[in-house]
């Protein structure tokens, strides 16, 4: 009786997949319409290479992650202080200065290009994504639309505190400090301290004694 019930359930699932197949085919066509085979191959290689060292602890993990970054990043200067459990995507569009530190849980997607200067410090669980999801109109589904690339620039001596989000197209001017859990939606002034959602300037580092 149990076997018969299992077969009925499996047949139902197969039937659902078969009836949904045209939808999935059209979805994949829309999603992959502007993506080349070369790009897909690179993303696969990047994913496996970074996965091999992403969560390695200690000095070994630190060294291995730097080797992978040197091979995959568009440009990398010096050592990068990359903690375990950081998600990096589209590293071929990522430029890193020297002495960049990134803490665990952070997500960096360089689909639209990301440039970081020297002595940049990024806290844990920060999101930096340089692709915009277009929302105009109701068709096609947002998930199936290609992201619009918008470069993010993070200049020298910036500190992004834990939980902050840097939206596509933003430039963090030299010396900017972003408060914890802030959402930066527009360019900042040099040596400014910004907090909130959306982030607003609350003071200047030049005036702090």
Strand 131-132 and strand 148-149: the pairing is: antiparallel
Beta bridge pairs of residue 81: 101
Q: What is the CA radius of gyration of the chain?
A: 21
Beta bridge pairs of residue 116: 154
Token pair, residue 158, equals 């910036």
39 in catalytic set: no
**How many Å separate Cα 189 from the centre of its chain?**
24
Of 133, 186, 201, 203, which one is the catalytic site residue? 133
Find out whether 152 and 169 touch, Cβ atoms under 8 Å: yes
CB contact set of 125 (below 8 Å; sequence gap of 6+): 105, 106, 162, 163
Active site residues: 133
């Amino acid at each position: 009786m149990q076997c018969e019930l299992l077969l009925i359930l499996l047949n139902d699932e197969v039937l659902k997949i078969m009836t949904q197949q045209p939808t999935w085919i059209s979805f994949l066509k829309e999603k992959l319409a502007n993506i080349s085979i070369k790009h897909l191959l690179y993303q696969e290689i990047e994913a496996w290479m970074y996965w091999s060292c992403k969560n390695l602890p200690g000095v070994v993990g630190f060294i291995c992650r730097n080797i992978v970054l040197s091979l995959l990043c568009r440009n990398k200067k010096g050592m990068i202080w990359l903690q375990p459990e950081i998600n990096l995507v589209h590293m071929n569009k990522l430029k890193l200065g020297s002495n960049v530190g990134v803490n665990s849980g952070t997500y960096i997607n360089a689909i639209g290009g990301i440039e970081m200067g020297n002595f940049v410090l990024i806290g844990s669980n920060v999101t930096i994504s340089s692709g915009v999801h277009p929302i105009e109109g109701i068709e096609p589904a947002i998930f199936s639309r290609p992201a619009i690339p918008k470069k993010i620039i993070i200049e020298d001596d910036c500190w992004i505190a834990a939980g902050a989000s840097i939206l596509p197209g933003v430039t963090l001017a030299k010396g900017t400090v972003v408060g914890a859990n802030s959402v930066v939606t527009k360019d900042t002034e040099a040596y400014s301290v910004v907090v909130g959602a959306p982030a607003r300037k609350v003071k200047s580092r030049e005036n702090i004694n």
